[in-house]
Amino acid sequence: MIHEGEHPFEEPEERRDPIRRFRGRLAEPVCVVTAGIDDDRAGLTVGSLVVSEGEPARVHLLVGPLSDFYEVLGRSGRFVVHVLDASRTDLAELFAGRRPGPGGPFASVAFEDSPWGPVLTEVANRAYCSYYEGTEQGWSVLVTGDVDRVELADLDDPLVHFRGRYRRLLGDADRR
C-alpha cells in the first residue's frame, strides 16, 4: 500500500545505493554549463563542481560521458559555467531535461553566442573556460577547464541541491 507522500517507484531505504545516499547529503551548487555555437550547442545542469585556485585557476565538474554537453564540448573546446540564483529553478529544470523545452532548451531562453559557447544573458555570475582534459571517474567524466575569465554580480540567495531537491540558503546570508 502506498501512503501519502511516498513515491510509488522508490526503492526501500535498505536497498538504495549507500554512495548515492551519501552524495545526497552534500549540498551542491546548481550551475548550468553550456558549450558550442550556432546549431551545435548544448547545456547541462550540474551540481558536482569545484573550483581550484592557482595559475591557472580551474573548474572541475562531473558530467555523463554520453551527454550532449560532453559531446559538443569535445568539438568546441570551451564552455561557460553559469551559477544560478534561487529564482532560477526553471533553468535548472530545463537544462536537466526535467522540464519540456520544445525546440531544445535554447529555444526558450535568452542567450548570446560567445567564443566559449552560449551565454545565458539572465544569469550574471559566469566563468568562461577552456577545456583542459576529461578523465573517466566511475560512471562519469571529470571535466577540467582552465578559467579564462569570470563575470561576477551580487549573489545573496544561490540555488542549491540537497537531498534530491532544489533549496535556498534562507537566513544564512547574514551569518558570519
- How far from chain centre, in Å, is Cα 51? 13
Q: Is residue 2 assigned to a domain?
A: no
pLDDT band of 175, cuts 50, 70, 90: very low
Domain count, the chain: 1
The model carries a pTM of 0.87
Q: Is residue 13 assigned to a domain?
A: no
Q: What is the mean pLDDT of residues 56-84?
A: 98
For residue 9, pLDDT beyond 90:
no
Instruction: Identify the weakest region by mean pLDDT among 26-30, 91-95, 170-174.
Output: 170-174
Residue 40 belongs to what H/E stretch? strand 40-46
DSSP letter at 69 equals H
* 51-56 long-range contacts, CB within 8 A, separation 24+: 51/127, 51/147, 56/146, 56/147
For residue 173, pLDDT beyond 70:
no
Integer Cα distance of 111 and 120 in angstroms: 4
Q: Is residue 15 assigned to a domain?
A: no
> What are residue 76's DSSP bridge partners?
none
Q: What is the mean pLDDT of residues 139-164?
A: 95
Q: Are 101 and 94 in contact (CB under 8 A)?
A: yes
Q: What is the mean pLDDT of residues 150-172?
A: 88
Integer Cα distance of 98 and 166 in angstroms: 13
Q: Is residue 112 assigned to a domain?
A: yes
Share of the chain above pLDDT 90, in %: 70
Integer Cα distance of 11 and 76 in angstroms: 39
Q: Is residue 23 assigned to a domain?
A: no
Q: Is residue 50 assigned to a domain?
A: yes
Please give the pLDDT value at position 1: 47
Q: Is residue 4 assigned to a domain?
A: no
For residue 3, pLDDT beyond 90:
no
Q: What is the mean pLDDT of residues 58-72?
A: 98
- The CATH number linked to 142 is 2.30.110.10
For residue 43, pLDDT beyond 80:
yes
For residue 112, pLDDT beyond 50:
yes
Three-class SS state of 70: helix
Tell me the residue range of the domain where 149 lies: 30-168
For residue 8, pLDDT beyond 80:
no
